[in-house]
Structure 1
Amino acid sequence: MNSLITTIVIFLFVFAHNCQAQDKSNLIVHVQDIKTISGEIRIGLYDSETNWLERTFKSESIEVISDTCQVVFTDIPKGEYAISLYQDENSNGKLDMTMGIIPKEKFAASNQAPARFGPPKWKNAKFNINKNEQEITIKL
């Protein structure tokens, strides 16, 4: 009887773990059209409109060594997200600004969301992760 209960518990644990693994995704972000080969690309993945451009869900940075680069975010729950990125050409850890309001360094967002009279809007940048592996491309 104890071995039957142990077998059932192990089965349920493995089944639950497999179900959770299927709800996660890998997101591959391709960055193209990098004009200046210097510094780093800093990428923020946001999981809600409330957090958009304020608090990342996950973030990565990668050294710029060519006109394209790729970053992979792993174990992302399926759902709605948006990406913001910029090229930190001088590697000082921040998006340099002119007069505190105009970016000096190149930046972009998912869906090539435009930045008109302010930063890109969540509604224009958001996308759904609904596959086990998803790829998006952003042009800098």
Structure 2
Amino acid sequence: MMARTLALVALAALLPATPALAGDVVITVTDLRSTKGVVRACMTTREDIFPKCIKDPTAHRTVVPAAKTVEIRFTGVKPGDYAVALLHDENDNGKADRAMGMMPKEGYGFSHDAPVKMAPPKFKDAVMKLGEGVSRIAIKMRYFL
């Protein structure tokens, strides 16, 4: 019996590790001030590009029509540490418009409701650990002006 158990343990050690399964991330976005334009969303594992991951081809990205409440779904997401950045691009011009070159004129949101203090949040403030299966998060859209 002991030899059989040892043989099974040895066999299991030789088998390749089962890769982690990809999952889905469902983001519910609330508190949009209007239904104008679109919501641009990106989700990245890269601290060096966050929160400007909207134009990064390696990030999970999407654009959806604005509504009172918006649901965004990313599929095929490998488990790992991710941060989400949202932009309510009300005039749909593909960029975050600013007043006096600094203050955002359009809505924004981040995973973990990461704080915005004179600058966008840091990756470490917005990061979340995603596993297999479906992960659901909620993000409130914020407006400076």
State TM-score, norm by structure 2: 0.78
Match of 2:135 in 1: 134
Relative to structure 2, which stretch is displaced further, 122-131 or 52-61?
52-61
Match of 2:62 in 1: 60
Local SS of the residue matching 2:34: coil
Deviation of 1:131 after TM superposition, in Å, equals 3.0
Match of 2:11 in 1: none
Match of 2:36 in 1: 38
Rounded to whole Å, the distance in 2 between the matches of 1:108 and 1:54 is: 12
Counterpart AA for 2:49? N
Q: Deviations over 1:1-54 (max 9, x none)?
A: xxxxxxxxxxxxxx98xx44x421111111011111110000011112122124
Local SS of the residue matching 1:124: helix
**Structure 1 segments of 4+ aligned residues over 6 angstroms from their partners:** none
Rounded to whole Å, the distance in 1 between the matches of 2:118 and 2:52 is: 18
Match of 2:92 in 1: 91
Rounded to whole Å, the distance in 1 between the matches of 2:81 and 2:133 is: 14
Rounded to whole Å, the distance in 2 between the matches of 1:23 and 1:51 is: 25
Counterpart AA for 2:65? E
Q: Where does the alignment leave 5 or more consecutive residues of structure 1 unmatched?
A: 1-14
Counterpart AA for 2:84? I
* Aligned-residue CA RMSD (Å): 1.7
Match of 2:120 in 1: 119
Rounded to whole Å, the distance in 1 between the matches of 2:52 and 2:115 is: 18
Identity, in percent, stands at 29
Q: Deviations over 1:72-103 (max 9, x none)?
A: 10111100000010100011111101122211
